[in-house]
Amino acid sequence: MKKIEAIIKPFKLDEVKEALSKIGVKGMTVTEVKGFGRQKGHTEVYRSAEYKIDFLAKVKIELIVTDEMVPQVIETIERAAKTGKIGDGKIFISPVEEVIRIRTGERGRDAI
């Protein structure tokens, strides 16, 4: 089992969610986050005051999938979240030791 974290542009969230649902992903967790990478921040000007906004709004999607699903999920997120412009985001993959469904007590793949 793997955890996939994808940080994407907020306006791409719906597309990514739809695409993932289509390939059989049954759940995900979404968080509004702020950060910067190569894109850096942007500048806002209010009357004469100029403010450099370092952290940009992004959305972080977290989902746990079985090992076989990983390539397909990554490919789907890449395709749906891509604009080709700077700031499209990143995907992180990490191993997951155990998954437990609280209601039933199921463990492992059954709990995903």
Partner 1 sequence: MKKILFLSLLTSMFIVGVAFAEQPTTSIPKMDSGDTSWLLISAALVMLMTPGLALFYGGMVRTKNVLGTIMQSFIALGVITIQWAFYGYSLAFGPDISHVIGSLDWVGLRGVGLDPFPGYSATVPHQAFMIFQMMFAVITPALITGAFAERFKFKTYLVFLILWSTFVYDPLAHWVWGVGGWIRNLGGLDFAGGLVVHISSGISALAAALVVGRRKGYGNGLMPPHNVTMTLMGAGLLWFGWFGFNGGSAIAAGSLATSAFVVTQFSAASAALSWMMAEWACRGNPTVLGAASGAIAGLATITPASGFVGPISAIVIGLVAGALCYYAINLKTKFGYDDSLDVVGVHGVGSTWGVLATGLFATKAINSAGNDGLFFGNPSLIGIQAISVVSVWVYSFGVTWIILKLLDWTMGLRVNEEHEITGLDTSQHGEAGYNF
Tell the smallest beta-carbon distance from residue 57 to partner 1 (Å).
Answer: 15
Tell the smallest beta-carbon distance from residue 85 to partner 1 (Å).
Answer: 19
Work out whether 47 is an interface residue with partner 1 (CB under 8 A).
Answer: yes
Residues 49 to 68 in contact with partner 1, rule: CB under 8 A: 49, 51, 53
d(C-alpha 106, C-alpha 67), whole Å: 18
Residues 83 to 102 in contact with partner 1, rule: CB under 8 A: none
The structure tokens listed for 65 are: 């999938």
d(C-alpha 77, C-alpha 81), whole Å: 6
Binding piece for partner 1, criterion CB under 8 A, among 5-13, 45-53, 60-68, 82-90: 45-53
d(C-alpha 77, C-alpha 40), whole Å: 22
Tell the smallest beta-carbon distance from residue 43 to partner 1 (Å).
Answer: 9
∠41-47-50 over CA atoms, to 5°? 30
Nearest to partner 1 of 56, 64 (CB atom): 56
* Identity at 58, one-letter amino acid code: K
Nearest to partner 1 of 48, 94 (CB atom): 48
> Shortest CA distance to 30 belongs to which of 73, 70, 63?
63
For binding to partner 1 (CB under 8 A), which residues are involved?
Answer: 44-49, 51, 53
